[in-house]
């Protein structure tokens, strides 16, 4: 069964490249896309227990991925949140983990590790 995924990313180019790659490399099916923090929180709420993976960018059209992480701290154990960002500084990594992120990855240099983690959730 594919990983039901909510993709929280405001870059259309990144979404266009990431969605098919997620399907191929991690058996992930994107069930909803959000470009803003409020849209992401609404999507997570709308799908309640129906999502397995949320991929969160930190800098969104409105709001921050940190607010999305904060809003989803009470998610079920089978639901994983992974941050994919261009700015994975040590401080950002710490803050994301403190807010419950299961992983934080650099979009330009850590994609292999990102896909490895996503694949592990489907096992």
Domains with residue ranges and CATH for the chain:
3-121 (3.40.50.2300)
At a CB cut-off of 8 Å and minimum separation 6, what does 28 contact?
Answer: 2, 3, 5, 22, 53, 118, 122
Contact 57, 104 (CB under 8 A): no
Do 55 and 84 meet the contact criterion of CB atoms below 8 Å apart?
A: yes
Beta bridge partners of 8: 34, 56
Amino acid 1: pLDDT: 87
Residue entry with tokens 């930190």: 58
* Beta carbons of 40 and 87 less than 8 angstroms apart: no
Residues of the chain with pLDDT under 70: 123
């Amino acid at each position: 069964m594919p990983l039901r995924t909510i993709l929280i990313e405001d870059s259309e180019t990144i979404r266009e490249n990431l969605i098919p790659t997620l399907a191929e490399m991690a058996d992930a099916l994107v069930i909803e896309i959000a470009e803003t923090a409020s849209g992401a929180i609404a999507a997570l709420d709308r799908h309640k227990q129906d999502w397995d993976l949320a991929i969160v960018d930190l800098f969104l059209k409105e709001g921050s991925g940190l607010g999305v992480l904060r809003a989803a701290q009470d998610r079920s154990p089978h639901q994983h949140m992974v941050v994919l960002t261009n700015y994975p500084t040590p401080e950002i990594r710490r803050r994301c983990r403190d807010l419950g992120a299961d992983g934080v990855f650099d979009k330009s240099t850590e994609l292999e590790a990102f896909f490895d983690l996503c694949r592990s959730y489907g096992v």
